[in-house]
Structure 1
Amino acid sequence: MIEAGILLFMFVLIAVGMPIAFSILGSALLGVFLLNGELGFLNAALSLYDGATSFPLIAIPLFILAGALMNTGGISTRLIAFVSALIGFVRGGLAMVNVGVSMFFAEISGSAVADVAATGSVLIPAMKNKGYTPRMAAAITSSSASLAIIIPPSIPMILYGAMSDTSVVKLFVAGIVPGVLGGGLLMALCYYMARRYDLPRDEAFSLRRLGETAKDASWALILPVVILGGIFGGVVTATEGAALAVVAALFIGVFIYREIDLRHLYQALVDGVLQTSVVMLMVAASAVLGLYLTETEMPQRLAAGITEITTNPFAVLMIINLFLLFVGMVLHGAAAIILTVPIFMPLVHELGINPIQFGILLTLNIALGQQTPPVASVLITSCSIARTDVWRTSVTNLPFVGVLVLVLLLVTYVPAVSLSLVDLVYGM
């Protein structure tokens, strides 16, 4: 009961407006004190340090910085121009361009918020000018941006891998099929809605324009090949790949496109530091919460409680999905991972659920949480760009959220969707 009270206290702190990192840390310290007295603070201090110094976690600030450099270095605008020339001539093509650009951007940044900030500032005004309603433009941009955490590299996957001791590279490989499947289904939905609501074409297809935009975007298109090729080829680790992404984005922005000067570099660094601070404070605080949960054996008791109800892995996965959907609606993605991984991993191991499959399942739930109020970090960012109401946009967004739910169900109940490529590459 005390453990439940500590978690309830954490949610109360969040509800009254305390920053999530401090809510997690404050409730965890209270639990540690009630359990071990003042001596518990000594272990808490060590956990704080250890929680923020894991080598794989270094990839998080590096990918965040790479995304910020892409936003200021002209890479995003060139990707948009190329994809628009490639598929913009189809009815509703600008909506499909939105999805396609997010898929390209996802292969570099690993952050949905970075995606929606970079692509939305260009595509949402363009879609409104072409006759899309602000709600439709915001919904399409928001849902497609969440592909950035499903298609590798992915910051939530890095965080999950570090917390669960699961291979980040294998998680990246496992995310390819669900990510591409989600992108394809979103494009199909865009085409259906374009036919139903008579949405406009962007402009007529031009082979010359396609060639020009491809040439202009060639350096941007090389980035995913270099980064993911290096990671999957075993040349670099995920953390080293993140460093490579920063170097490549900086080189292209400064020397090739020549759009990054000292002012832009300073702004990118500030944006990167601010976003990194939010995540890493939560990571450090989560280590203390994990310490408390481990000492109280709450995860093991929760696992035992669920298995008393059912030992069917499919039924257990449905229970976990429902819980994760709720947590994703009320917590930031990183906080949701931090809270749920220590609780559910013992159950995952006990029932023989593949940790890689569970990692993709968790990531998809985080993606859904980015689209569902009250937190809905990506949807809120998209709505602020489109200058439209969040709750009304949520209704417009339901069909696109439905696509993500469909992919989640496929990953949950058809393990091959996430594991087949991993089996092929690594022979699991």
Structure 2
Amino acid sequence: MIYASTTGQSAAAAEAQSGLRRGLLRLDDGIGRVVELLCAALLVVAIVVLFSGVVARYVLHVPLVWSDELASMLFLWLSMLGSVVALRRGEHMRMTALIDRVGPRWRAFLETFAQTASLAFLLLVIVSACDYAQEESFIITPALQINDLWRAIALPVGLGLMAVVSLLRLARVHDLRTVSLAAVCTAVLALGFWLAQPLFASLGNINLVIFFVILVAINVFSGVPIAFSFALSTFGYLALTTDTPMVVMMGRLNEGMSHLILLAVPLFIFLGALIEMTGMARAMIQFLAGLLGHVRGGLSYVLIGAMYLVSGISGSKIADMAAITPVLFPEMQKRGAKPGELIALLAATGAQTETIPPSIVLITIGSVTGVSIAALFSGGILPAVVLGLALCFVVWRRCRHEDLSQVQRVSRGQVLRMLVVALPAVCLPFVIRASVVEGVATATEVSTIGVVYTICIGLFVYRHFDWKRVIPMLVETASLSGAIMLIIGCATAMAWALTQSGFSSELAHFMAGVPGGAYGFMAISIVTFIVLGSVLEGIPAIVLFGPLLFPVAREMGIHEVQYSMVVIFAMGIGLFSPPFGVGYYGACAISRVEPSEGMRHIWGYIAALLIGLVIVAAVPWLSVGFLK
């Protein structure tokens, strides 16, 4: 009788637990559907607003002064809600090299620890995010004349939803012991850092190594998403070693995620999906494969050349890669290319094409250092060719034994017919670039021209447009964009923390005193900006160090345009080099490839880029030979 009663109680408890789990799953699904639909709507409205601005200004000559302001507001909401979608789907970029090599029990623990660590950050900053939004409520936007709270509240809403999603994801884990152990470990680590606060006060700049090198590395290799790894380290440094209010960190996070030029990222990601869906990608690939498919490594050469052609049109290297990847990667994979090899080459081309005008980094250098932007545009073409040839050499070495026995050479007549079919698709990069160069659209708006052009070609030329795929593509775009933007936002906050530490001015003073004159200064600049590029990205690093270091370069007789090229390439190599380069993880996110897969393939390309960089640094004519 007692046994039966106990059994009945156990069954009832199990039924109640099962009912609770089903309820949580329904709640998770409900949140997911609402947020995904909001993301899709925000992206559509942003495209309509920006394209309307182009038409009103260039066709009707009646500029919409509020279009950029509204687009920036929509973009912050899209970034935060997209981050929620990415977290719910487990699509935030992270390093899995260590997790993939441990046993099932340790893997389960590290996976759960990554979730509890991310949740800890969200819970720690949610109040500061609310305070930041409240402070912004006193601001009235200049063009729309509305309360800025409508924009700023995206931060606490997004962070709060991510916290809820994190809790629901933990509730899905059946092993309560693993969840408890991970939560305890997270709490113990947080408590340990808090108790060590008096020690940090006496360490000075050693704290930079502790928080921005050691702690970042531990988080990254433990499987904590890259964005949250950066955020936890920045939060820890500011909270435990400075008196900075956390509301300031929220302001830097907002600044990094709402910069209007970065709106090109989701728009170009969506453009890439449209190119594939409308059949433009297939037509372009058939032509390119017919043209170079019979050459060993032919499509890899096409990738290098394509990045050279489209680079700079959006102002964002991530957006450039988003426009290329859906076109080339599927066909390259059909021919046996490994995903790791593809992502390695893509990241390398991102670094190679940093100086192609109209690059936003070139414009930034000109604006903060006084160097002629026209001279920078002229000087950036040939150095990129040098690095491109270095990458082509690596492709030739790796593909010289490629088996082409199954690839048939296409006749000239067939190639010509393929060109006619692919011409509308081949013209797209030139339409986009011409729109920027001729002043039809800004670097942000130009992606909407590409979207409208692609939709028209798909509907009226190729007659292939699957309306059922539009909403899933919009949601995928939002998820991927949210993952990328959160990384950039957290990296911006980390860059600001490094600046406030006084690290930048001390570094400039050290570099000016390096022995070896101009050669020594150039060498230490390369090393320094590779390191800086991996944590600061191009624009923050230029803003911080450009005004300090360019006068030193002039005094040493280094031409400012040549020094600009060296600095940009060095930062590009750092930006796209693992394990810290944000651009590398952006390339992995664009390609849907695990970061660990590209690790062993990328170093040959990095070595080629370094050799090309040394050549550019040693031969000034490559940068200044075509200047008037």
Could you tell me the TM-score, scaled by structure 1's length?
A: 0.74
Equivalences for residues 134-213 of structure 1 within 5 A = 139=341, 142-143=344-345, 146-148=348-350, 150-151=352-353, 158=360, 175-187=380-392, 190=395, 197=401, 199-200=403-404, 202-213=407-418
One-letter code of the match for 1:8?
Answer: I
Q: Distance in 2 between matches of 1:270 and 1:336?
A: 27
Q: Does 1:47 align with 2:248?
A: no
Equivalences for residues 258-273 of structure 1 within 5 A = 258-273=463-478
The offset of 1:14, in angstroms, is 4.6
Q: Does 1:349 align with 2:550?
A: yes
Alpha carbons 2:344, 2:601 under 8 Å: kept: no
Q: Distance in 2 between matches of 1:58 and 1:140?
A: 25
Q: Distance in 1 between matches of 2:493 and 2:269?
A: 24
* Alignment match of 2:446 (pick from 229, 238, 241): 241
Aligned to 2:234: 28
Structure 1 segments unaligned to the other structure (5+ residues):
129-133
- The alignment partner of 1:406 has SS state of helix
Q: Does 1:218 align with 2:452?
A: no
Aligned to 1:124: 333
Count residues with an aligned counterpart.
Answer: 406
Q: Does 1:305 align with 2:510?
A: yes
Structure 2 segments unaligned to the other structure (5+ residues):
1-202, 555-559
One-letter code of the match for 2:334?
Answer: P
CA deviation map 1:245-265 (0-9, x unaligned):
333334334443344423332
Q: Distance in 1 between matches of 2:468 and 2:505?
A: 52
Q: Distance in 2 between matches of 1:402 and 1:122?
A: 27
The offset of 1:206, in angstroms, is 1.1
Could you tell me the TM-score, scaled by structure 2's length?
A: 0.53
Tell me: CA distance 1:26–1:59, structure 2 relative to 1, closer, same or farther (3 Å).
same
Alpha carbons 1:146, 1:367 under 8 Å: kept: no
Equivalences for residues 13-92 of structure 1 within 5 A = 13-17=216-220, 18-33=224-239, 37=243, 40-90=245-295
Larger RCO (alpha carbons 8 Å, 6+ apart): 1
Q: Does 1:5 align with 2:232?
A: no
Q: Distance in 2 between matches of 1:53 and 1:324?
A: 25
One-letter code of the match for 1:273?
Answer: A
The offset of 1:157, in angstroms, is 5.2
Q: Distance in 1 between matches of 2:330 and 2:496?
A: 42
Aligned to 2:568: 360
Alpha carbons 1:231, 1:237 under 8 Å: kept: yes
Tell me: CA distance 1:206–1:416, structure 2 relative to 1, closer, same or farther (3 Å).
same
- The alignment partner of 2:447 has SS state of helix
The offset of 1:10, in angstroms, is 3.3
Identity %: 22
Alpha carbons 1:65, 1:268 under 8 Å: kept: yes
- The alignment partner of 2:404 has SS state of coil
After TM superposition, the structure 1 stretch with the greater mean CA deviation from structure 2, 114-123 or 95-104, is 95-104
Q: Distance in 2 between matches of 1:267 and 1:87?
A: 33
Alpha carbons 1:28, 1:292 under 8 Å: kept: yes
Alpha carbons 2:310, 2:433 under 8 Å: kept: no
Structure showing greater radius of gyration is 2
The offset of 1:152, in angstroms, is 7.3
Tell me: CA distance 1:63–1:392, structure 2 relative to 1, closer, same or farther (3 Å).
closer
The offset of 1:304, in angstroms, is 1.0
